[in-house]
Each structure stands twice: as C-alpha cells, then as structure tokens.
Chains A and B, each alone.
Chain A
Amino acid sequence: GENVEQHPSTLSVQEGDSAVIKCTYSDSASNYFPWYKQELGKRPQLIIDIRSNVGEKKDQRIAVTLNKTAKHFSLHITETQPEDSAVYFCAATPSGSARQLTFGSGTQLTVLP
C-alpha cells in the first residue's frame, strides 16, 4: 500500500518568513494530494490540494508543488503569520473508491512573532 513520509516534524520560522514542508510517497498510482491544517484542539481542515495533472497550485500565501517523477510534493507558505501556527498533514491516494487517503505524520509549524 501507500506510504507517505513527511518532513520536518517540527518547524519554527520568524513571522514574515517562508515555510516549506515536504512529503514523499511510494505508490506511483497516487494522483491526489491534499494538505490539511489542524490548529490546537481543533479539527483538521483542508487548505489546498493538487492533482497529478498539474505541477503547482497557489491560493494566496499558500502553494503546493508536485514532482511525480521523484514522487514528492511540498507545501509552501509565504509571509507567515502567527495564525499559521498549527500542525500540517499531507496525504496521498490514487483516485477512485478502492483506495483511501494515507496521511503523513504531521509537521508542527510555529511562527515566532
């Protein structure tokens, strides 16, 4: 089955700097890659996702890049703000109902004021 590795496990950045979180996956059939944000004590929420037919997707200060050849994808947050502090999870799956999302182990991002 799919295996997703996520790095780093913790990341501290100064407010205004950029943050990058990287994930690698093992199943070459995976073609859907969502990112979830979980604030302390709250539920995970989808912040951005990408499908294998594109290499990059942006939404304001957040972007995700995908390299299918190398089987890795990354989350980029620019101009970080204190409210970006949270745990971020990547996930991967082939589309279709037979397979389910496999999540990475999470990255605790702390934005220092």
Chain B
Amino acid sequence: DGGITQSPKYLFRKEGQNVTLSCEQNLNHDAMYWYRQDPGQGLRLIYYSQIVNDFQKGDIAEGYSVSREKKESFPLTVTSAQKNPTAFYLCASSLGGDTSETQYFGPGTRLLVL
C-alpha cells in the first residue's frame, strides 16, 4: 500500500468552490476507486475506474467528477454541487477490476468546508 499516495492530507473548501483531490499509484494496477468515509459509517463508493479513459459512478456520485487519463492517476473533483463535502476521502487501487481482488488504500485526504 506504500505505492498509492494522496494529496493533500488536508484540504479546505470555500462556498461555491471546486476542489480536486489527487490520487497516484505506482503499483501498475488497472483499477482505481474513490470512497468517502463519514464518522460512524462505512466506506461509500463514489466512482471507480477499471481501465484508462473509462470510469463508472458508484453509490454516491452526485456532486463529484473524476478523470482517468493515465493509468497511474485518478483525480477526484468535489464540485460546488456537493452540499455536504466534509469527509475523509480514500483512494484505492487493485490489480484488476474483479471485486475479489485486494484493494490497497491511500492515506486519505480530509476535506473541510470553511
């Protein structure tokens, strides 16, 4: 899991602002994922990508957007349409897109609203 990184560690968003969270992996994994973690709740899937230039919505995609232009990178944009963005965001990757493969997580980004 040391091969997957996220930045920044903390991010502050102002009203009406879009912010982008970075996720990079050097594990040569095809699949990447974005989860949101709120206190007392499990991880909820925002978006996932099984291959470059392709991605699918997860359970809570509204107010978020992603891109997958490179195999190593899967940035997440939290748009102004996301009304409750304060949360801990985790990026993960797995070797392939089969859900029975181990997902490796990044260290996370904590997003706070000013």
Contact = CB atoms under 8 A, between A and B. Distances in A.
Interface of A: 1, 4, 6, 9, 31-32, 34, 42-46, 49, 51, 89, 91, 93-97, 99-101, 103-106
Contacts of B102: 34, 46, 49
Given A42-B107, A45-B105, A106 B42 contact: yes
B97 A105 contact: no
Given A44-B105, A45-B1, A100-B58, A94 B99 contact: yes
5 contacts: A4-B42, A46-B104, A89-B43, A93-B99, A96-B99
A103 B42 contact: yes
Interface string B83-114: 00000001000001111101111111000000
Contacts of A34: 102
Contact of A43 (B33, B58, B105): B105
Interface residues of B, number: 25
Given A91-B42, A103-B43, 9 more contacts: A4-B42, A34-B102, A43-B1, A43-B106, A46-B104, A89-B42, A94-B99, A97-B97, A97-B99
A97 B98 contact: yes
B40 interface: yes
A6 B42 contact: yes
A45 B2 CA distance: 11
Contacts of B45: 100-101
Given A105-B41, A106-B41, A100 B99 contact: yes
Contacts of A89: 42-43
In the complex, the 8 A-B pairs of residues with the closest C-beta atoms, listed nearest first: A103-B42, A32-B100, A97-B97, A95-B100, A43-B105, A93-B99, A103-B43, A105-B42
A45 B42 CA distance: 14
B25 interface: no
A32 B98 CA distance: 11
A1 to B, nearest CB: 8
B108 A43 contact: yes
B98 A96 contact: yes
